Amino acid sequence: MRDKEMAGRGGYEPFYVMLNEYRIADLVITAHARSRYEDRSQGDGMTGKEAAFWLWQCLKQKRVKPHSPGEPEMYVVDNDLVMAARIVEMPGEADLYGNPLYKLIVVSFLGKMSENIDLRDLKSYFARQRSSRRVSLMQSGRKRR
């Protein structure tokens, strides 16, 4: 998901967007994140390419913000949609000044805070998810006799 702009000399320069202190030059949405986006986030039938284009536009317009300082890999889009993303340095890629460029890998879309109030406090949300999985595993496990 890169924008390429034509320079005056005919060369192509990588375009990047600042997110915190990172220069994001590429965007990748995993298959899991794409399916979660279609199921829970928008629900308007956007395909993966359209979702990637929409998210890239949000990055350009600075509508993507970190969720909280304690959660470095959680981001909020438009103050509503919570996503888990990882920022990875792109080897061999740098801007004109030698600063490294990064790739934003969207791992999952958790949902909208307006629809699920639990997403405002992610620690309790994940603790509740873990305990519910643990209880269901204990109930479905075989008992030794």
Q: What are the pLDDT tens digits along the chain (145 aa)? A: 555 444 444 455 557 899 888 999 999 999 888 888 877 655 566 666 788 888 999 999 999 998 877 777 888 888 888 888 999 999 998 888 889 999 999 998 887 877 776 666 666 666 666 556 555 554 555 554 4
The answer as to whether 142 is a domain residue is no
The domain in which residue 103 lies consists of 4-113
3-state secondary structure of 48: helix
Q: Using CA atoms, how far apart are residues 36 and 29, in angstroms rounded to an integer?
A: 11
Token code pair at residue 83: 């996503």
On whether residue 76 sits in a domain, the answer given is yes
65 CB neighbour count, 10 Å cutoff? 13
Show the CA angle centred on residue 30, arms to residues 4 and 71, nearest 5°. Answer: 95
Structural domain count of the chain = 1
Identify each DSSP E strand in the chain by its residue range: 4-6, 12-14, 17-19, 22-29, 64-68, 71-77, 81-94, 100-112
Q: Is the pTM of this model over 0.85?
A: no
Is residue 48 a part of any domain in this protein?
yes
Token pair listed for 14: 């990588």
